């Protein structure tokens, strides 16, 4: 494991970033799985736990909030709602654990099930702002729920031995995509949901 923030530029106080998130902190199944994982990992230092309230699946980082007007943010949410109007709520399964040098996550499976939300977030941002496709938007996307971030260099083997590769599966239904402003550094979790694009509004 490595320190996520050692060589990573983080937002300074007063700097805001706009995200598209699927907020799942109100799903009991997701909270129970994340709590179980965090309790097993509690004996390890150098891990920063995601607040259960803000459990999420990130669809897209839209960019610095300074690049958007309030009107554009409203238009983005309205556009995403229109794009997802014919998409019914989507059920995904959590339980498989993913390990990354910077984080420990729960996979959201099958990953292709959430592709419509990813595309809606990308398309809504492009349509409203007039931006073009960015290279990172074409990279493979693995939807996941981050349980914790690493804040230190340490061997992963003891962590993997403690947590394992799989938790009891839990199904959750994704029915909305949210625009969220994150104020300041990541670890402060100063999040402010702005608008929600709901799935299946035309059904």
Each residue of 33-79: pLDDT tens digit?
A: 999 999 999 999 999 999 999 999 999 999 999 999 999 999 999 99
Class (C level, CATH) for 16-198: alpha beta
* 34 CB-near residues (< 8 Å, 6+ apart): 50, 52, 55, 106, 145, 147
Each residue of 121-153: pLDDT tens digit?
A: 999 999 998 876 666 667 789 999 999 999 999
Is residue 143 within 8 Å of residue 20, measured between CB atoms?
no
* 8 CB-near residues (< 8 Å, 6+ apart): none
- pTM of structure: 0.95
Question: What are the structural domain ranges in the chain?
Answer: 16-198
């Amino acid at each position: 494991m490595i320190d996520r923030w050692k060589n990573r530029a983080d937002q300074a106080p007063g700097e805001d970033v706009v995200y598209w998130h699927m907020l799942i902190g109100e799903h009991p199944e997701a909270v129970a799985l994340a709590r179980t994982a965090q309790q097993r990992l509690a004996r390890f230092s150098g891990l920063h736990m995601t607040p259960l309230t803000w459990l999420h699946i990130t669809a897209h980082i839209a960019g610095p909030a300074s690049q958007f007007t309030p009107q554009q943010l409203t238009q983005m949410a309205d556009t995403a709602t229109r794009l997802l109007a014919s998409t019914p709520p989507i059920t995904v399964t959590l339980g498989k654990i993913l390990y990354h040098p910077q984080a420990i996550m729960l996979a959201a499976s099958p990953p292709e099930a959430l592709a419509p939300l990813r595309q809606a977030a990308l398309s809504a941002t492009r349509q409203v702002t007039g931006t073009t496709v960015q290279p990172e938007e074409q990279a493979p996307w693995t939807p996941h729920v981050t349980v914790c971030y690493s804040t230190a260099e340490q061997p992963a083997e003891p962590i993997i031995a403690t947590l394992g590769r799989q938790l009891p599966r839990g199904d959750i239904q994704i029915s909305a995509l949210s625009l969220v402003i994150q104020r300041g550094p990541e670890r402060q979790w100063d999040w402010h949901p702005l608008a929600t694009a709901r799935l299946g509004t035309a059904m």
